[in-house]
């Protein structure tokens, strides 16, 4: 399905309650998308594609999904705009799921976000979630607030920040886990070496035992042969005539 273009314009959607505006080459008043009402899922307007291209070269409104396109058309439009990193373009539902994921990976992703627009959108969504009694995890909420502060102050991270504490705790846990794995590996190697030595000792004992058994059998045969020989000689002596004097 191709893009639904009408007079050079495509459908642009605002799922947020906040309005969005940016300059236009066709209208001095610019492009304006009002915020949706509480009973609306989204607001949609037709926007000239060249205005979208111009704005995309200057801001990240489209790069982080602050405003979006028709679901059937967005892949093709993102391709035309050269937007390859789609990880940060999330629907409201996807964003809520992301912010409810209390994992270290989520904290890492938040700590690496460079878009103030995306962080602002996350902060707005956190507020909306709290109003709806859908409380996000504390460390996710703290990470978003701290990352916003970092971006507003030049991206520098406070060594005592919540994000750093979380990342340091994870680093320590990983180090402890590696140490435990190393210890378990050493124990396994020692146990394997012990079993190997025991097997070698047993093999030696078996060889010695087999040698002793072989010697005993040989001695027994020698003794039997000696007795048989002596008995044979005695019989021969008995059958001979006595010597003449």
For residue 224, the model assigns a pLDDT of: 79
For residue 135, the model assigns a pLDDT of: 87
Query: What's this model's pTM, rounded to 2 decimal places?
Result: 0.61
Tell me the average confidence (pLDDT) per consecutive run of 10 residues in the chain, 245 residues long.
Answer: 87 91 94 92 94 94 91 92 86 90 92 90 90 89 92 78 78 74 81 83 83 83 80 66 58
Q: Check: CB of residue 167 under 8 Å from CB of residue 107.
A: yes
CA distance 186 to 157: 39
Burial 110-128 (b: 16+ CB within 10 A, else e): bbebebebbbbbbbebbee
Helix (H) or strand (E) segment spanning residue 21: strand 20-22
For residue 49, the model assigns a pLDDT of: 96
CA distance 148 to 118: 9
């Amino acid at each position: 399905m191709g893009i639904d273009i009408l007079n050079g314009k495509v459908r642009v959607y605002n799922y947020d309650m906040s309005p969005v505006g940016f300059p236009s080459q066709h209208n001095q008043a610019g492009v304006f998308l009002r915020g949706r009402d509480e009973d609306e899922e989204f607001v949609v307007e037709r926007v000239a594609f060249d205005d979208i291209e111009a704005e995309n070269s200057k801001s990240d409104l489209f790069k982080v999904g602050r405003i979006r396109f028709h679901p059937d058309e967005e892949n093709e439009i993102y391709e035309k705009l050269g937007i390859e990193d789609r990880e940060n373009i999330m629907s409201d539902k996807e964003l809520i799921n992301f912010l409810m994921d209390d994992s270290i990976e989520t904290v890492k992703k938040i700590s690496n976000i460079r878009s103030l627009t995306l962080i602002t959108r996350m902060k707005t969504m956190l507020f909306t979630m709290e109003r709806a009694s859908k409380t996000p995890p504390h460390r996710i909420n703290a990470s978003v607030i701290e990352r916003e502060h970092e971006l507003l102050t030049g991206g520098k991270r406070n060594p005592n920040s919540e994000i750093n504490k979380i990342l340091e705790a994870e680093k320590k846990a990983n180090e402890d886990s590696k140490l435990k794995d190393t210890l378990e590996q050493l124990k396994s190697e020692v146990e394997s070496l012990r079993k190997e030595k025991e097997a070698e000792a047993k093999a030696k004992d078996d060889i010695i035992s087999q040698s002793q058994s072989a010697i005993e059998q040989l001695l027994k045969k020698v003794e039997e042969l000696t007795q048989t020989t002596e008995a044979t000689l005695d019989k021969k002596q008995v059958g001979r005539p006595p010597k003449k004097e």
